Copies of this chain bind each other. A is one copy, B any other.
Amino acid sequence: MPTRSDRIAFQGELGAFSHMAIRQLLGASATAVPCPSFEAMFTALAEGRVRGAMVPIENTLHGSVHENYDHLLRFNLPIVGETSVRIVHNLIVPAGVKAASVRRVYSHPVALNQCLNFFREHPDIEKATFYDTAGSVKMISEERPEGAAAIAGALAAELYGCRIVKRSIEDDKENYTRFFLLRRKPVPKSARAPKRGYKTTLVFTVRNVPGALFRALAALALRDIDLNKIESRPFKGRRWEYLFYADFLGHTEEAAVRHALSHLSEVADMVKVLGCYPRGD
């Protein structure tokens, strides 16, 4: 009887950075299931076609992925884990192709723009935009256009049988993407605490009056709860209301957190816990 594998949805092609996040957090036992869009990935999990989803939520260069916070609010799929992947871009060629023959490099424009030093040093090499980083590796491996290379993560080179000719050509080494692992049901607090403790992510709204956020944060600060992230969402069309994302250390099954949430719901119009999960590295 085949084992029921841990199928995890992600947005993009096999070999994408989201796929690397699945490997990093869950190891080789998980099966990565590509989806064409973020919404398709959330829908796949909501309908039970997969057992988890790996969702990029913020990047050190590009900020929070608001679209995915919107999906987290709309779908009731709890966060059960987090992990951060360093975005390392590599120059990749099809097997048997020489580095010296490269004249044109395919990748997503964001990736191409994160490797400007490389293109400055190689003015004879042309940039060519493609819809996806890992997808560009798949394309050069299948179509083998003359003089073509791609820029993507190392996993894409491995999966499509290609060769990395230059590692880590990204300009900024402090480029990390943080991911949430979602499941259909929350994971209860374990008797043995995880090494780095728990984190809780929530969304709340306050009316736009001076000091409203200050009063909301008092609910946490007065209980010595350590805030890791706070962000106001620029809301067009709802000018007089603000949405906040917050991450703090602790679990909703702890008394201090329970009291803080009860206090917060007195001063906020809406409070929604998106999940409690072991704090990632």
Contacts and interface: CB of A to CB of B under 8 A. Distances in A.
A231 to B, nearest CB: 5
Contact of A58 (B84, B213, B234): B234
Nearest to A39: B116
Interface in A34-68: 37, 58-67
Contact of A127 (B127, B131, B227): B131
Contacts of A129: 108-109, 129-131
A96 interface: no
How many copies make up the complex?
A: 2
| Of listed A64, A86, A116, A209, residue having the most chain B CB within 10 A | A64
A176 interface: yes
A176 to B, nearest CB: 5
Contact of A66 (B61, B65, B131): B61
Interface string A97-139: 0000000000011001100100000000001011100000000
Nearest to A244: B230
Contacts of A2: none
A214 B217 contact: yes
Contacts of A221: 210-211, 213-215
Contact of A236 (B62, B84, B224, B227): B84
Interface residues of A, number: 50
Interface string A212-251: 0111011011001111111111111100000000000000
Contact of A63 (B62, B178, B230, B236): B62
A269 interface: no
27 contacts: A58-B234, A59-B66, A60-B234, A60-B235, A61-B67, A62-B63, A63-B65, A108-B109, A109-B131, A129-B131, A176-B234, A176-B236, A208-B226, A209-B226, A210-B221, A210-B224, A210-B226, A210-B227, A211-B221, A211-B224, A213-B217, A213-B221, A213-B230, A214-B227, A215-B221, A230-B231, A231-B232
Top 6 closest pairs, chain A to chain B, by CB: A63-B63, A214-B221, A63-B64, A211-B221, A129-B129, A210-B226
Given A214-B214, A229-B232, 7 more contacts: A37-B113, A58-B63, A108-B129, A129-B130, A210-B221, A215-B221, A230-B232
